[in-house]
Amino acid sequence: MAIKLTASLSRKAPIDGIPYSSQSFGGSLEIEVNSDHPDEIKQRLHHLYGTLSASIDSEIAAASSGRPAAQSQSAQPSLPAPRTGTANAVQPARNGRKTTATEAQCRAIFAIAKNLNIDLAALAVQHGVAEISMLDVKTASSIIDQLKKQQRNGAVARQ
């Protein structure tokens, strides 16, 4: 009998030099176990969780030291490393314009998503970033438009 085991883990780590701030690190793994023996299942789950925990610890250590994390052997694409610095930190564009979402855009996404009970972490991953503040301005604008449309449609449905 095949059993699917899933382990998910997330941790927050403070950002050096920025009071009251943190970065989120997380991941999940899934394996299939071809056994129905409880001891073997516990052992595999313990190993799965240990592997995930060690990987996240490695990512946190790499981020806090400023060096890139070790490359995964997985065929899965990895998410970009979380951005460090203040909320106003931006990546300069060739034309000198801000390329990451503005604070106002992030606040709008947070507020509307909260109102709609949308998971922000899942929304960020869906758009290929580790956190909402890493979105580019154009994508953030598009997400706001989509969320507002969902909000309007929900208001019409409740009437």
Distance CA 78, CA 45 (A): 23
H/E element, 44: helix 38-65
Q: Does residue 78 sit in the same domain as residue 1? A: yes
Q: Does residue 99 sit in the same domain as residue 47? A: no
Q: Does residue 41 sit in the same domain as residue 99? A: no
- State which of 24, 51, 82 marks the end of a domain: 82
Distances (CA, A) of 82 to 56, 59, 92: 13, 10, 17
pLDDT of amino acid 69:
52
Task: Read off the pLDDT of residues 101-122 as tens digits, 9 standing for 90 and up.
Answer: 888 898 899 889 988 988 888 8
Residue ranges making up the domain that contains 63: 1-82
Average model confidence (pLDDT) for the chain? 75
Structural domains counted in the chain: 2
**Predicted confidence (pLDDT) at residue 70 exceeds the cutoff of 80:** no
Angle at 110 between CA 109 and CA 112, to 5 degrees: 65
Report the pLDDT averaged over residues 70-91.
38
pLDDT of amino acid 19:
80
For 108, how many CA atoms within 13 A lie in the half-sphere containing its CB? 16
Q: Does residue 2 sit in the same domain as residue 76? A: yes
- State which of 52, 82, 112 marks the end of a domain: 82
Q: Does residue 103 sit in the same domain as residue 156? A: yes
Task: Read off the pLDDT of residues 7-63 as tens digits, 9 standing for 90 and up.
Answer: 888 888 887 777 878 888 888 888 888 888 888 888 888 888 888 888 888 888 887
- State which of 82, 100, 124 marks the end of a domain: 82
